[in-house]
Structures are given as C-alpha cells and as structure tokens.
Amino acid sequence: MTNLLQIENLSVEYKTRRGIARAVDNVFLNLEENKTLGLAGESGCGKSTLGLSIMRLVPHPGRINEGKILFNLDESLIFEGGSVEKGQIDLMQLDDNQMRAIRGRKLAYIFQDPMTSLNPLIRIGDHFTEIIQAHEEDVKKDEAINRGEEILETLGILPERITDYPHQFSGGMRQRVMIGLGIALRPRLLIADEPTTALDVIVEAQILDELATLKKQFNLSMLLITHNLGVLAQTADDIAIMYTGRVMEIAKTESLFEDPKHPYTQCLLKAVPDVRKPDKTLAWIAGAPPDLIDPIPGCMFRPRCEFAMEICATQPPPLEKLDTGQRVACYLYTKGVSKK
Ligand SMILES: Nc1ncnc2c1ncn2[C@@H]1O[C@H](COP(=O)(O)OP(=O)(O)OP(=O)(O)O)[C@@H](O)[C@H]1O
Ligand code: SF4
Ligand SMILES: [Mg+2]
C-alpha cells in the first residue's frame, strides 16, 4: 500500500504570554491511500493543531517548529507564477503559492462549526462557484453549479436547494454542504475535524455513512478527528490516540477496540458507552492532562496511570511497534525495562 501522507517528527508550539505550549510533540503518522485514519484523544491534546499543520494553517501564535509532512502528489500542479512537481513532496518546503494550489485541489479541511465557514450572505451555489473557479479558472459558472448540484444530491440534499442561503438549512444539512464544498475539487485527502460533534446521533450516523460513500466514490483518504471513539469504530481503518501532543498508540481499529495496549487507550475505552451492553459501568479518567506549558518529565500520562513505574518519570516512552502490529508509547511494553 502506498502512503498518501507520512508525518515525521512533527512538533508544533504556541507561544503564549505564560510560556510555550508544545501542542504537537514529535509525532510520526502514516495514512495509506483510500484509508481512513481516526485521530482521537481528550480535548486540548493537539488533534486540531495536527490537522491544521497538514494544511499549513496553524493559527497564530502557533508555529510548526520541526518535522516533515510528506504528501504523495499524483499529478503536477501548474498555476500562474509557479508549479509543484508530482511525486512525494514535503509540504513544509513549499512556498505560500504552492501550498495554496495544494490546498483545495488535493487537501480539504472540514471544520466543526459550518456557520463559521459559510458566508450567510452568499447562496450555496455561489459558494461552490467561488471554490471551483478559484482553482479551475476555465470552469464556467453553469458547470460549477452543476457540479455543486451533483455533490448535494450525493449528500442527500435536493439539487434545487443550491439557490438557498446557509441559514435556510438545518445544522446537519449545513455540515453536509461543508463536506460537499470540501470535496468539490476532488481532493485526495479530506481532513474532517469533529464533523458531527454538534449533531444528534441520527444525523451523525447518516453523515458518517455518507462520508464513507463519498470516500469510495472519490477515492478519498480521510483523517477523521474526533473525541468520540464510538464514531471511529464504524468509520476508521486505523486509529491514532493522542495525549498532550503525543501519539500514544496507533492500531487497526479492530485491535484497538479488542485489545487496547496503552493504559490511556484502555481508560478512554472504559468511558465509551456501548448500546449493546447497557449495563456497562462507565469510568471517567481521574485527574486532568498536565499543563503543556510546564510539562512533567517522562510519560505525560504518569499522574493518571495506575501502572506507573520508576522509569516512567525519566524520558517520554518512545513509540514502538509490538509483535501484534500496534505501535505503543509505554514502558510496559518496552523490552528489558524493570516493571516495578
Ligand atoms: N490559539 C492558541 N493559542 C495558544 N495555545 C493554543 C491555541 N490553540 C491551541 N492551543 C494549545 O494547544 C493545545 C492543543 O489544542 P488543539 O485545539 O489542537 O486540541 P484538540 O485536541 O483539537 O482539542 P478539542 O478536542 O477541544 O478540539 C491546547 O491544549 C492549547 O494549550
Ligand atoms: S509509560 Fe508508564 S506512566 Fe506512561 S502509560 Fe506506560 S506505564 Fe503508565
Ligand atoms: Mg479540536
């Protein structure tokens, strides 16, 4: 399988008045073509920062301070005043114009709250036209509208509603429109940041289903960011669990649910309700993540971990591949380490 995206040693910091918060810390991740990678973890663990880094859109006062974001570009892109050659490229090395060409055409980001991304004064059709014509200048307005109508239909919205304004849609429909605008340029990678968090469970299930259909139809790869592991159970091929900016575990979805290795993953799963097991006792994780501005030495999960050992206070545990295929950053699995 080819890697569409390969993140190596990525670190992102926010420089605040209180000090520097390392929101993404030494992250390595792979996403294969046509696969969905789920990214989960508690609020503030760096999921959105990681997603926005791939777009090179980390908000001020954030900064990517090291790492590679390798993207497998399937065709050369030529635009006024420049180009990007096809092949494996490091997004970190591109200038702003090259990055703008890749965004939209090859990468798309869907934000949690559609109303912040949709202009209330502009009809849905004009949103489609604007996005499509910004990157494909030869496309006429009629053709852009037709494409928009087709996409709306795939997402279960009547094509004639393309003349409506955003406020005329329900929350679920607006989120569908956002997804539609995201895929209007047929990107290779769709980053969906909590795409269903604000919606009720029925609409959430429908939208997840539609995302899966779109993924097949358009040969998309997806990075699905959520704090809800239940959402990933149905949609992700692989799941990465983040904590305090670090990846703690990466595994195939099935393995992660059946045999979670990292103590943090185990705690997260105990907090997921299961409709098939209404008697399941839900457990929350006592304590809160440590302050990113004043991090503790060693494993950041240590104060909340029931298995903490002496070595856990020394260095952060490296992410290591186990014989079972999972990658885990925990000294419980490091060979030759005293388990006391
Ligand atoms: N604009 C900002 N200024 C300063 N620090 C920030 C800013 N945005 C994020 N951070 C820091 O980066 C950390 C990661 O934030 P991020 O939004 O990436 O987390 P998240 O996992 O997406 O959280 P959530 O689930 O709440 O969306 C936060 O804990 C915070 O300390
Ligand atoms: S490294 Fe130590 S503290 Fe961290 S999760 Fe593993 S056992 Fe717990
Ligand atoms: Mg977020």
pTM: 0.94
292 backbone φψ class: left, alpha, beta (φ>0; ψ -120 to 50): alpha
Question: DSSP characters for 259-283?
Answer: S--SHHHHHHHHTS--TT-TTPPP-
- How high is the pLDDT of residue 337? 75
State in Å: Cα 230 to ligand 3 middle: 17
State in Å: Cα 35 to ligand 2 middle: 30
Q: What whole-number distance in Å separates Cα of residue 332 and Cα of residue 196?
A: 35
- How high is the pLDDT of residue 1? 67
* Nearest bound ligand to the CA of residue 13: 1
Q: What whole-number distance in Å separates Cα of residue 207 and Cα of residue 47?
A: 21
Q: What whole-number distance in Å separates Cα of residue 50 and Cα of residue 177?
A: 24
Residue with token string 């995201």: 182
Residue minimizing CA distance to atom 26 of ligand 1: 43
Q: What whole-number distance in Å separates Cα of residue 158 and Cα of residue 42?
A: 37
Residue minimizing CA distance to atom 6 of ligand 1: 14
In a 3-state reduction of DSSP, which class is residue 73? Answer: strand
What is the chain's pLDDT, residue by residue, as a tens digit (340 residues)?
679 999 999 999 999 999 999 999 999 999 999 999 999 999 999 999 999 999 999 999 999 999 999 999 999 999 888 999 999 999 999 999 999 999 979 999 998 776 778 899 999 999 999 999 988 889 999 999 999 999 999 888 999 999 999 999 998 899 999 999 999 999 999 999 998 887 888 888 888 888 888 888 889 999 999 988 988 998 999 999 999 999 999 999 999 999 999 999 999 998 877 766 777 776 778 888 889 999 999 999 999 999 999 999 999 999 999 999 999 999 999 877 777 7
State in Å: Cα 209 to ligand 3 middle: 22
- How high is the pLDDT of residue 113? 74
Which of 17, 27, 43, when mutated, tests ligand 1's pocket best, judged by the most ligand atoms within 8 Å of its CB?
A: 43
State in Å: Cα 58 to ligand 2 middle: 30
Residues 6+ apart with CB under 8 A from 258: none
Which of 12, 47, 231, 248, when mutated, tests ligand 1's pocket best, judged by the most ligand atoms within 8 Å of its CB?
A: 47
> No. of H helices and E strands in the chain?
10, 14
* Nearest bound ligand to the CA of residue 302: 2
Under DSSP, the state recorded for 57 is -
- How high is the pLDDT of residue 285? 80
State in Å: Cα 38 to ligand 3 middle: 13
Question: DSSP characters for 82-93?
Answer: EEE-SEEEEGGG
Query: Would you say the CB of residue 248 lies under 6 angstroms from ligand 2?
Result: no
Query: Would you say the CB of residue 302 lies under 6 angstroms from ligand 1?
Result: no
Judged on CB neighbours under 10 Å (0-12, 13-18, 19+), 277 is exposed
Q: What whole-number distance in Å separates Cα of residue 314 and Cα of residue 319?
A: 15
